[in-house]
Structure 1
Amino acid sequence: MNSIQSQIAENLKNIRKLRGYSYDQLAQITGVSKGMLSQIEKGESSPTVNTLWKIANGLQVSFSSLVEEKEPTVSVVRLSEKTAVTENNELLQVYPYFPFDSSKKFEIYFMEIMPGCVHTSDRHHGSVEEYVLVCDGEATVVIQEVEYVMKKGDSMRFEATQTHTYANFTDRKTSCYLLIYYA
């Protein structure tokens, strides 16, 4: 069985079981025979594009959800393999670790704030929360003119619907993780 055929088989089986459909029910809503559906799930048949569209439409899922590979259950992100987005003459370096995924509603960054850096972030639109976890050094976070000094091991959460500032007023680099949650 080729990899696309096995991927379709796995995806169809997972969707069918998740929704609790029997082959009879699936055949009724898709217009594809239960014998063909069973063969597809077992990897014994390579469905045509037309058949896949019938299945996708009947299940009300995207075509790609039947053919795409699932994300691995383990993802390792190495800082050495990431490229930073920089600002303020590289005094602020932001490494995207886990980009936004609409099904998870968050994204995670690793951020390095060099000595002397003051970075003001515009407010985010919608219902957005930021979580900051300081790994090393000391960060000053300013929200509505109130300064919060965060040291190694400290963390905070705030609604990011207002302008906020990250600063490093020390003489050594500060590193932290930043999680942005879109409620």
Structure 2
Amino acid sequence: MDMPSTFNEHLALRLRDLRAENGLTLDGLAERTGVSRSMISLIERGESSPTAAVLDKLAAGLGVTLASLFAEKDDTGASPLARRADQRVWRDPDSGYMRRNLSAPGFPSPIELVEVILPPGARVAYDTGQRAAAVHQQIWIIEGEIDLTLGEETHHLATGDCLSMRLDQPTIFRNHADRPARYVVALATDARTGFGTQR
């Protein structure tokens, strides 16, 4: 698993690069995401271990997926193969949920795959609605079961179930069981929709 300091350093550089690509100041990104300017500044200096909920808000405002904050910058020379030892792993300091980026780091692709382990009793809430780019997601349960609330609708997903969804409203993941749930998330981004290039 990546050490927190190593991940914080990676995230600091990644966030600064994405903000620059979007032509956003710290204040501009704060206004777009609802994350305070001081928190963004701490993250960009590698001095904060943000929660998944904060990272999701930042990703939404930058028009990328949460998974892409863990990835390397796209590089046409990057290998299409991701060995397990090279897959970035991160644990949310708030809920304890663990995510592993399965896709090849830096390899340009419209699809991202992520493996998630949600501990017993864990709850992860993303309250982001409108995004800078539309994100389509499918969740396939490998082991265990979860309740996934999308807006006002809750789906109970058990082993083998697969749910397709668009990330355009608040989402809550819950594991009410007494054992971990493990699932794969497939994501694809459509930059033609969302709130586009507003600053």
TM-score (normalised: structure 2):
0.50
Cα distance in 2 for residues equivalent to 1:82 and 1:103: 16
Q: Tell me the residue number matched to 2:146.
A: 139
Cα distance in 2 for residues equivalent to 1:136 and 1:144: 24
2:135–2:188 contact (8 Å) kept in structure 1: yes
2:140–2:161 contact (8 Å) kept in structure 1: yes
- Residue type matched to 1:127 in 2? A
Does 1:119 find its partner at 2:130?
no
Deviation per CA, 1:110-161: give whole Å up to 9, x if none: 0000011110123443211111000000011100121101000000110101
Q: Label 1:83 to 1:127 Cα distance change in 2 as closer, same or farther (>3 A).
A: closer
Deviation per CA, 1:33-90: give whole Å up to 9, x if none: xxxxxxxxxxxxxxxxxxxxxxxxxxxxxxx96xx4x635xx2542x66452212545
SS of 1:178's equivalent in the other structure is: strand
Cα distance in 2 for residues equivalent to 1:83 and 1:103: 17
Offset of residue 179 of structure 1: 1.0
What runs of 5+ residues in structure 2 fail to find an aligned partner?
Answer: 1-74, 191-199
Cα distance in 2 for residues equivalent to 1:147 and 1:172: 20
- Residue type matched to 2:118 in 1? I
SS of 2:103's equivalent in the other structure is: strand
- How do residues 59-138 of structure 1 correspond to structure 2 at under 5 angstroms? 68=77, 71-72=79-80, 75-78=81-84, 82-89=87-94, 91-98=96-103, 103-121=108-126, 122-123=128-129, 124-138=131-145
Q: Label 1:99 to 1:131 Cα distance change in 2 as closer, same or farther (>3 A).
A: farther
TM-score (normalised: structure 1):
0.54
Q: Tell me the residue number matched to 2:15.
A: none
- Residue type matched to 1:149 in 2? H
Q: Tell me the residue number matched to 1:173.
A: 180
What is the aligned residue count? 114
Q: Label 1:143 to 1:181 Cα distance change in 2 as closer, same or farther (>3 A).
A: same
Cα distance in 2 for residues equivalent to 1:96 and 1:178: 10
1:139–1:168 contact (8 Å) kept in structure 2: yes
Pick the structure with more strand per residue.
1
What runs of 5+ residues in structure 1 fail to find an aligned partner?
Answer: 1-63
Offset of residue 178 of structure 1: 0.6
- Residue type matched to 1:146 in 2? E
Kindly, what percent of the aligned residue pairs are identical? 13
Q: Tell me the residue number matched to 1:23.
A: none
The one of 158, 164, 168 aligned to 1:157: 164
Q: Label 1:101 to 1:148 Cα distance change in 2 as closer, same or farther (>3 A).
A: farther
Q: CA RMSD in A?
A: 2.6
2:79–2:104 contact (8 Å) kept in structure 1: no
Q: Label 1:155 to 1:95 Cα distance change in 2 as closer, same or farther (>3 A).
A: same
